[in-house]
Amino acid sequence: MSTATAKSNRLIHETSPYLLQHAYNPVDWHPFTPAAFELAQSLNKPLLISIGYSACHWCHVMEHESFEDPTVAAVMNEHFVCVKVDREERPDADHLYMQAVQLMTGHGGWPLNCFVLPDGKPFYGGTYFPKEQWIRLLTQLSKLWQEQSERVTEYAMELTAGIRRAELISISDEHAEDITAEIVRQSVERWKQRLDDEKGGPDKAPKFPLPNNYLFLLRYALLEQDHTLLDHVNVTLRHMALGGLYDQLHGGFARYSTDKEWKVPHFEKMLYDNAQLVSLYSEAWLHTGDPLYKKIVEETLAFMLNNWKHPQEACFFSATDADSEGEEGKYYVWTTEEIEALLASDAQLFSSFFGIGKEGYWEHGNNVLMHTHRTADVCLQFQLTVTQLEEKINKCKQLLRQAATNRVPPGIDDKTLMAWNAMAVSAFARAWMTFGTAAYKTIAVETLTFLLSKMKNGEGLFRTFKNETARIPGFLDDYAFLITALMDVHQVTAEEKWLHEANRLCNLVVNEFSHDDGVGFYYTSANSHDLVERTSEMSDNVIPASNSQMALNLFYLSTYFHRTDWAERARNMLARVGEEMKNYGAGYSNWAILALHLRWPFKEIAIVGKTVEENFLTLYRHGLPNAMFALSANNSDLPFLQHKTANDVTKIYICENGHCELPCETIEQAFSLLD
């Protein structure tokens, strides 16, 4: 429907790009506000809560088929108060209603469509519905409400009680036990049975590039000297980087691969994926020196800067759409004819290198760019040196990038999210620690400074920033990942102010987000009253669970600030997921990193003195898989650094479990203790 002639609905006043996409639907959409629920109560109508995000392909499909259709919209408007939610702005609502749909149907996904009572209790839901099925469902549910509202209410109460029971089970200490090294090993051995050692990743499709899975597996393999597992990690990272999942032309990773080959992606790109993958590839480079990993980090950060960097502010946008001109992947794929016309005499070389017309063929004459042959084989085939081949491929890429400027680009979700930007801060910080590129350090510090100045909510945090305005009180992941970013930037700058801010925010989280049992954390603060139930995020997914990230934060900060109560709380939180970790390690990999810290030798390293940065970078690039650092150019009152003095020299203190060796004055001495 053309926005030039269509009448806007209430979403026209929102800032979320996803909500604005629906602002000219004939559906009488409301934003997720108390006013929508009050209207439903006054009209005695159920609400339809429809949840998605701007880069979601099937969200666009359902919008086009149903929400843009006046006939369908009329049915929706007559029988329901219709609410649109951006899951990235309101992940609290998404968590709650996703849990409801999963309890009802056994699966979830987006678009998420949940029908709820006027008081917010869910009674039916699902994901994508084709148009005719959607109309039938709307009619049936409306009739059921009108004729048997008591039955619907009774079921909604039972379902809400089920959500509450599931929440209690997820944080219960009934089966809590200290996670031993043996439990971690057993978990990994079960996990190995589900791995694809030929192409990397899980032995199934679709394949998600789960950064935290491979960060844990990398560190575990190094600590256990498990060379087979280490090979699997590197096979995975190389195939991800060489396949269609990675945008060989513009840089950056897509959200997931639809097949087992990492070939055809679901083309949307997310800031959280790319930020975490930068951190992963940076750490992997420390142990391999693989030039491909460095190339991936540099190109991905360049993509983030070129496409997602706010033009006026030191922050990043959220995502790039999968679709352009209503067609998934259209911006990214190429026909054989296009390649031949654009590249002329180099077309055969380029086609061989990227599998055009063969391994890279997708559908409808289109090809996905992916490395299909070893560089050495292509050099031999075309009688070129490696340098000559790289020059020709780069020239061809430039020609295709220039041609792509004539295409309609996919849309950008230009809202800024606290948690995802905090991950970007960590990505730039860790890339600087790994490669030393000065600009990365500058960007990390500037972005963190922006988050702390423009997205503060009193003493707390806001979730989103758009049009010079920050809004929506922060959720647990916003605090968790910002605290982590603060600790990363401490290592980048050797300034203690970042640690003190991390400590302050951690205290706020403990005071406002703690679960009733005093161990885990709710996803929403005690000041939030929008939902019928508060939920906790426990299992790790494409983004680590906010509870697992907070457990790690508590562990690190307990060392910096000598908080034994926080260390004990982190251990208790970990024990809560022991049973799940045994059976499904891939869903608890961030928790497993904490288990590595607790059950394998963990080094606490303090560096104090004039050459702190030089010594830190040398030690960091040694690739310690189980260590943390505290840095200061001067004598410090930070509890962990107290009495660790340097005077006119730089001293390195190697500690474990609170016991420190005599300080070293040379890197060589430090290495001898570490090795």
Hey, what are 360's tokens? 């890279």
Tokens standing for residue 100: 């409801």
Using the predicted structure, report yes or no on whether residue 177 has a pLDDT greater than 80: no
Residue 138 pLDDT class (50, 70, 90 cuts)? very high
Say if CB 322 and CB 328 are below 8 A apart: yes
pLDDT of residue 437: 97
Q: Is the pLDDT of residue 171 over 70?
A: no
- Note the pLDDT tens digit of each residue in 75-92: 999 999 999 999 999 999
Tell which residue, 149, 95, 91, has the closest CA to residue 123.
149
Percent of the chain at pLDDT exceeding 70: 98
pLDDT for 2 equals 47
**pLDDT tens digit string along 543-577?**
999 999 999 999 999 999 999 999 999 999 999 99
Q: What is the model's pLDDT at position 33?
A: 94
Place of tokens 């190109």: 299
- Cα 446 to Cα 315, 316, 431, 533, distances in angstroms: 8, 11, 15, 37
* Residue 1, pLDDT score: 46
Whether 225 shows a pLDDT value over 90: the answer reads yes
Q: What number is the average pLDDT over the span 610-637?
A: 94
**Within 13 Å of residue 338, how many CA atoms lie on the same side as its CB?**
18
Name the β-bridge partners of 126.
113
Query: Which residue in the block uniquely carries the two structure tokens 């401490």?
Result: 490
The reported pLDDT for the residue numbered 18 is: 95
Residues 506-541: tens digit of each pLDDT: 999 999 999 988 899 999 999 988 888 888 999 999
Q: What is the pLDDT of residue 602?
A: 97
pLDDT confidence of 174, banded at 50, 70, 90?
low
CA-based torsion, 495, 497, 502, 507: positive or negative? positive
Residue 667 CA to residue 675 CA, distance in Å, equals 12
**Does residue 442 carry a pLDDT above 60?**
yes
Q: E strand or H helix at 628, and its extent?
A: strand 627-632
- Look at residues 383, 355, 385, 270 and name the one whose alpha carbon lies nearest to residue 321: 270
Residue 148 and residue 141: Cα distance in Å, rounded? 10
User: Is 55 exposed, middle or buried, given 0-12, 13-18 or 19+ CB atoms closer than 10 A?
Assistant: buried
Q: Is the pLDDT of residue 172 over 80?
A: no
Angle at 506 between CA 501 and CA 511, to 5 degrees: 130
Side chain identity at 155, as an amino acid letter? Y
What local confidence, expressed as pLDDT, does residue 173 receive?
Answer: 60
Please check the confidence at residue 166 and state whether its pLDDT lies above 80: no
Question: For 244-273, what is each residue's pLDDT tens digit?
Answer: 999 999 999 999 999 999 999 999 999 999
Rounded to whole angstroms, the Cα distance separating 558 from 75 reads: 56
What are 288-308's pLDDT values in tens digits?
999 999 999 999 999 999 999
Alpha-carbon gap, residue 61 to 433, rounded angstroms: 43
What pLDDT score does 373 carry?
80
Percent share of the chain, pLDDT over 90: 87
In this structure, are residues 479 and 442 in contact, taking their beta carbons and an 8 Å threshold? no
Nearest to 461 by CA among 495, 509, 428: 509
Question: In this structure, are residues 244 and 370 in contact, taking their beta carbons and an 8 Å threshold?
Answer: yes
Average pLDDT along the chain: 94
* Residue 61 pLDDT exceeds 70: yes
In this model, does residue 170 exceed pLDDT 70?
A: no
Task: For residue 395, name the pLDDT band (cuts at 50, 70, 90).
Answer: very high
Q: Check pLDDT > 80 for residue 106.
A: yes
